[in-house]
Structure formats: structure tokens, C-alpha cells
Structure 1
């Protein structure tokens, strides 16, 4: 797979799984973290697992447009172009609206929603040149609201709407855009530690396979919104 992909928040979780899948297909990836040490550690793990050394670790913050622009510049300097931009970085603050703080609200929206805006704004010129692909990692929380999820729901509902509207804006350039909306995924999100008890959940490599499948799909076809959920959650047994 001759693709060069930028993955925000690629040092762990879903982003790491996407990076691994692209590398296994022969692609090249740049992964970011707010910590360069974390990005470098993840890059070494990816190289060891895939035997593909085409990994560029970067320190970048999706909350900053200039930080995203610097990351894209580094990718083009290293690899020559960008084919895929995956807006994956995200956080979660949960709790009743009575208890949710202004800081938690702003942190969630700035990372999960404004971060997606910053990622595509920084990537757009590069994607125009390659008729590339813009992928956002949303959530089923972007269509299904729940108590204690006001900030997270707002951010993910926003990601769904933003990606679909942006898709209509940029398809005239030959750029495809998809939002992937997973349910329960076995990650460290929200301080969770994956274990054997998470075997029923979507695994990070499953999301990676969805992304590589999209990249292989004929460009005339666009799955613009993909909902994915565990086949057999405990409640269905």
C-alpha cells in the first residue's frame, strides 16, 4: 500500500491500531502525541511489531492549528506528500451537567471537535495534491446520547456533522471523507486498562482493518459514515 498517513493521537489505542495496520500493508505513517517521548516509544513498538521502519513520531497538539501545520510540514519534508489524514486524538470527561466544570467542557470540545477542524485545515492543501482521504474517528456517542455525557456527546455529535458537511465541501477536489463511529473498543481511554474481560469489545486492529479497507476501496465509492459495534456485547448474551 503506497500510502502516507498522518494519525493524530497515534501513540496508543485506536490511533496505534490504525498505524499498525497501515504499516503492515507497506504504508508509511506519522503519529503524534502531546509528548514526543510517548510518540517515539510508540514508533519503536510499531517498528518492532511490523518490521516497517517508515514511522515518523511527532509532538503535536490538535488544539493548536499552528501545531498541526507544523506536523504536516514535517511529514511532507520527510515523506514528500500526505495521502491520508486521520483525526483520531480524543479525550473524555464524563459526569452530570451539575458537576461538569468549564475547564472539562472546553478541554473536551477543544480536543475532540476543534482538533478535528485543525487537523483538516492543516492537511487540506496536501490532500488536494494527492486526491487523498480524510478520516475522523467519531463514536456511537455521536448519535446516541447518555446521562453524564453532555460534553462528550456534544463533541462527537459535532464530529459527525462536521465530517459529513466537510465531505460535501471537499469531494470536488477528489478528496474522500469518512467518519468511523465505533462503540465499545478495548483501549486505555478514560483510564481503562484493557484485559481479557474486554475480549468481547472491538479491538484496535479491527478499526485499523476498516481504515485499510477504505484506502483500498475504488475511489468512485465512498462509505461516508460507518457505524461499528461489538457483535456480542454482554447485554446480548
Structure 2
């Protein structure tokens, strides 16, 4: 048995990664700030395997620790952490609010720090794998992206440093940096026809599964993934 925890797992990339891992035989815990959303996702995912829905806010360290404790209580271990929860606030620095800045940094960067810190003891025991979901915006800046760019540039650097810290324990750490993905991110409503050119969430799920199957000796520490033919 192997166990994965996915933050922000009720929809989009997180949901698709959960489905992919369940199909591979993993037990999967998904977290969301909204327990209703988490339960609705779990009611669909249970078709594929053993899934646990947890209400947790990555911006709150104790909330993350409580979530990890629930997973340990249920399954006794954690083999994989997918730090996926993220938000976006896009505006010129002239219009970006203090609350927008704090929400973005606290979720996309500090929230990942909290998720890793809370699960680290468990992952050390299994010599597990930590994934963070960054973005091509973590190396490519754009107008109106000061908060989002800062959070994702920071996340990319943070993950690479954590990779160096933890590989001595036999823990793999990778960051995945997608371009345009057909998800509900930033209140977007995916459209099968209009979004057909984009990366699909299940593509990220397949990527995670492939990376988990890499030989122990090999670590793809940073993976950029983008649409083959962008609009």
C-alpha cells in the first residue's frame, strides 16, 4: 500500500492527479478549504479506490498538521505529497491590493512550506516523494503578474532548495511547471472545444505517475510542461 496527500484536490489538476494515483492503487487524501467540495470530489473518486476528503487551509499550519494527522491515523503512512493548492490575483501593481498580495503569497508559497513541514516526518519514514505544482510563471514574468510571479518564482526556488536538503534522506522532490491548463483556476470555466489546445488536467496526472515510476537513481527535479501548439 502507498498513500498520497494532495492539497487542493477537489478539482482541476489536483483532482486529476488523485484519479491517476487511485488507478495506480494508491490510497489518496484530498484536501480543500471547502469540505463540501472535497466530499463531492471524493464521492466521484471513490469509484477508483480508497479516498479520504479533508477540510484544510494551506495558509494555516495547524490545519495542515491536523490533516496530516488524519491521514496517518487512517493509513499509517504518507508516501507522496502533492502540494497543489494555489490561487491567482492578476492586476497592475497600481491596483493590486494588500489582501490580494497576502492571499497569493500565503497560499502559493507559504502554504507549500506548511504542507511540507507538516508531512516531513512521515515522508522521511517512507523515503517518499514531494511534488510542488509551480508554473511557467515561475520563470516568465508578465505585466499584471507581480503577486503571482513572485509566488511562483519563489516556489520554484524554494522547491529546488528543498530538493537539495532532502535527497540525503532518500526523498525525491520535484516541481512541475505547467503552462496553460484547462482548469477552473482563477474562476475560468473550462470549455472542451475552446480549451482543446491547452494541457488537460489528466496530462499532469499521467506525468506524476510517470515520474513516480522513474528509477530510484533518477530525479527529474524541475519539469516544464506546455501546450504543444499554443493559441
When normalised by structure 1's length, the TM-score is 0.96
How large is the RMSD of aligned CA atoms in angstroms? 0.7
2:60 and 2:211 mapped to 1: Cα distance? Answer: 28
Write the distance in 2 (CA, Å) between the matches of 1:171 and 1:64.
27
Unmatched 5+ stretches in structure 1: none
What residue number does 2:225 align with? Answer: 228
Equivalent residue runs for 1:138-157 within 5 Å: 138-157=134-153
Q: How does 1:96-107 map to 2 (within 5 A)?
A: 96-107=92-103
Aligned to 1:206: 203
Residue 129 of structure 2 is aligned to residue 133 of structure 1: yes
Taking the TM superposition and a 5 Å limit, the aligned residue runs for 1:165-184 are: 165-184=161-180
C-alpha offsets along residues 181-211 of structure 1, whole Å, 9 cap, x if unaligned?
0000000001110012101100000000111
Structure 2 match to 1:120: 116
Give 1:156-167 correspondences, 5 Å limit: 156-167=152-163
Specify which of 194, 197, 201 is matched with residue 197 of structure 1. Answer: 194
Aligned partners of 1:45 and 1:188: how far apart in 2? 17
User: Which 4+ runs in 1 deviate beyond 2 A?
Assistant: none
Aligned mates of 1:3, 1:213 — CA distance in 2:
16
Aligned equivalents of 2:137 and 2:209: distance in 1?
A: 23
Equivalents in 2 of 1:65, 1:172: separation in Å?
A: 25
How much does 1:3 deviate? 2.3
Tell me how far apart the structure 2 counterparts of residues 215 and 3 of structure 1 sit (CA, whole Å): 11
- Report 1:46-65 matches (<5 A): 46-48=45-47, 50=48, 52=49, 54-65=50-61
1:9 maps onto 2:5 in alignment: no
Structure 1 CA distance for aligned equivalents of residues 4 and 26 of structure 2? 8
| Partner residue in 1 for 2:21 | 22
Superposition pairs for residues 58-97 of structure 1, below 5 Å? 58-97=54-93
**Structure 2: distance between partners of 1:218 and 1:69:** 30
- For structure 2, the 5+ residue unaligned runs are none
Question: Number of residues paired by the alignment?
Answer: 230
Deviations 1:44-95 (A, max 9, x none): 11123x2x2x100000000011111111110011111000011000000001
For the residue of structure 2 that corresponds to 1:198, the secondary structure is coil
